[in-house]
Structure 1
Amino acid sequence: MIAIAQGLNIYTLQGVAIDKQTLIVPTLDGQLLQVTPKGKVTVLVDLLKAELGIPFGITETNGDVVVTVSGYLPVHYLVRVKPNGALTIIADLSKTSGFYGAPFGVAAYNGEYIVTVSTDVVDSTSALLRVSATGKVGAIANLSEFGIPFGVIATQRGFVVAQQNGQLLQISPGGKVAVLVDLLKGGFGIPFNMAARKDDLVVTTNAGLIVRVNPQGVPSLLVDLLKARLGIPSGIVVSNGNLIVTTNAGYLLQINL
């Protein structure tokens, strides 16, 4: 396990992305940080200074990154960021998220974006949305039965969503929802974010764990970062077969498998 960088202001629901060999890390300060494999940190863009908010979910697509952003008014956006830091608002998600909600995860899928949204964090109402490249927003599935949705990834079968109540949900492009696995019931904690590695999923949880889930939905422990005193893992991405993970203790880690 290698600490690429530390001292980063990371919240437990924020993701991480990789563009070529550069890592992109959202922070609670509202910044997107560029981090090289050797740990050099530079600010790509400050979304708070741009009066947009704090970035949470993030995905790389065609050399850009797309992030979900929440402000304080409240305002919520899906934003594209170019490698030079130039910003474009893809969609205003404020109406969809509501006064007490927020967007969290985002994944790129067939030229569109798949976004998890809590429409009310108090009542734990939620949905999975499809956002077109031109900003048109449509619903895929209502996820309120499973609490607030966090991370999302696109797979060959559709989408997998991490839920507040402990489940990983398998959701078809048409909106059919099935439980892949209940990690909380299995003693692994609440899932935050995911990445695909070969045929498996690798998942961060609030118990401080990184968990492997095979295609049949069987989980197994990979790493206990809390026990290693590295904090609770949040964002996760696969690079050259290894894991890149952020934690709420401010670490950006490389975990060699």
Structure 2
Amino acid sequence: MALCCRSIDLVPASPMIQVSVIASKLNIYTLQSVAVSKDSVIVPTLDGQLLRVTLDGKSTSIVNLVQAELGVPFGIVEQEQDLIVTVSGYLPQHYLLRVKSDGKVETIADLTQRSGFYGAPFGVTLDQNSYLVTISTDVVESSSELIRVSRDGKISPIANLTKFGNPFGLVVQNQSIVVAQSYGQLVRVEKGEATAIVDLKAQGFGIPFDVTIWRDRLTATTNSGLVVQVDENGKVNTIADLAKAKYQIPSGIATFGKDLVVTTNGGFLLRISA
């Protein structure tokens, strides 16, 4: 059960930023993303649920993908009131799914062969009329790729990302794609070529998990407990230290109007305002 907390705390990293707790005690795993749909937030959970959480902290389960024997949801994005979700199961089985508002599930693409026995799909986002998906083909060896999936399930490779480790969240920025990578970089993919924008780990900000665009800047969560922004010159600025504020490690991040919503592995769904 999600619990709403109405108090607002100033985040130590920036006096201009405020954080409010929308919900707590959610069963969130570190690499799970988050999505916004109308006036609510969609949170994937480790036990397989997609939870619809309203701003007053009330939650309802849309579907349980583990109970449906499909897997644990990781990446998620909203498309025309449908939810596009990557899931990873234990057989192994990996899918890109479409979840309707009534909980009905449709398979867009079977990613099992692509991900392999030791891999998994992670992030997903929209690009015009298709889906961009990050895949680790072997989590242990950190081999990975970025693929495009058409609405009818056709898969085509975009770029090999192995030199940057396992790929997590991603976002489209102008004509390029930005991916959060396990070796610590935010990587830009353009015309099939992948180049590092910034190495967050090397600069002491940690490994990026998810990324969005907020106030025209790349904004990422990291395993150091931070939410950081990167400007057009690659300069990094910490906007929130959620670990220091005792919300633990942030995972999913998405824009919600003029604000951000962020999930943490401490079970919090947070709203960040400036």
The TM tier, using the shorter chain, reads over 0.9
1:116 aligns with 2:134: yes
| Aligned ranges 1:64-103 → 2 under 5 Å | 64-103=82-121
Query: Which of 168, 172, 195 is the equivalent residue of 1:150?
Result: 168
Q: State the match for 1:239 in structure 2.
A: 256
Deviations 1:141-185 (A, max 9, x none): 01101110010111212200000000000111x211111111001
Other-structure match for 1:141: 159
The structure 2 residue matched to 1:12, chosen from 24, 30, 54, is 30
Identity between Structure 1 and Structure 2 (%):
54
* AA in 2 matched with 1:255: I
The CA distance in 2 between the partners of 1:153 and 1:60, in whole Å, is: 13
Query: 1:182 maps to which residue?
Result: 199
Task: Report if aligned partners of 1:199, 1:215 keep a CA contact under 8 Å in 2.
Answer: no
Match of 2:212? 195
Aligned equivalents of 1:211 and 1:246: distance in 2?
15
Give the deviation of 1:197 after TM superposition: 1.1
| 1:62 Cα deviation from its structure 2 partner | 1.4
Instruction: For residue 198 of structure 1, report the CA deviation from its aligned partner.
Output: 2.7
Q: Name 1:228's counterpart in structure 2.
A: 245
Q: Output the amino acid matched with 2:188.
A: Q
Q: Deviations over 1:96-153 (max 9, x none)?
A: 0000000000011011000000000111100001101010111100110111001011
Matches of 1:177 and 1:57, distance apart in 2: 21
SS in 2 for 1:96: helix
Give me the TM-score of the superposition, normalised by structure 1.
Answer: 0.98
Question: Does structure 2 retain, via aligned residues, the 8 Å contact 1:76–1:94?
Answer: yes
Equivalent of 1:58 in 76, 84, 87: 76
Report the CA distance between 1:28 and its aligned residue. 0.2
In structure 2, what is the Cα distance between the partners aligned to 1:63 and 1:215?
32
Structure 1 runs (4+) greater than 4 angstroms displaced: none
* Aligned equivalent of 2:189: 171
Which secondary structure state, in structure 2, belongs to the residue aligned with residue 250 of structure 1? Answer: coil
CA-based RMSD: 0.8
Deviations 1:223-255 (A, max 9, x none): 001011111000011112111100000000111
The residue type equivalent to 1:14 in the other structure is: Q
Which residue in the other structure is 2:61 paired with? 43
Q: How far did 1:59 drift?
A: 0.8
Q: How many residues end up aligned between the 2 structures?
A: 256
CA–CA separation in structure 2 for the residues paired with 1:76 and 1:162: 20
* Partners of 2:239 and 2:20 in 1: CA distance: 16
Give me the TM-score of the superposition, normalised by structure 2: 0.92
> Which position in structure 2 is the counterpart of 1:248?
265
Q: Identify the residue that residue 209 of structure 1 maps to in structure 2.
A: 226
**What are the ranges of 5 or more consecutive residues in structure 2 without an aligned counterpart?**
1-18
- Check if 1:129 corresponds to 2:147: yes
Residues in 1 aligned to 2:235 and 2:77: alpha-carbon distance in whole angstroms: 26
Unaligned ranges ≥5, structure 1: none
Distance 1:146 1:193 in 2: 15
CA distance in 2, matches of 1:229, 1:21: 27
The one-letter code sitting in structure 1 at the alignment partner of 2:173 is: T
- 154-163 or 95-104: which moved more? 154-163
Per-residue deviation at 1:215? 2.0
Are positions 1:159 and 2:211 aligned together? no
Amino acid in the other structure paired with 2:271: Q
CA distance in 1, matches of 2:41, 2:245: 23
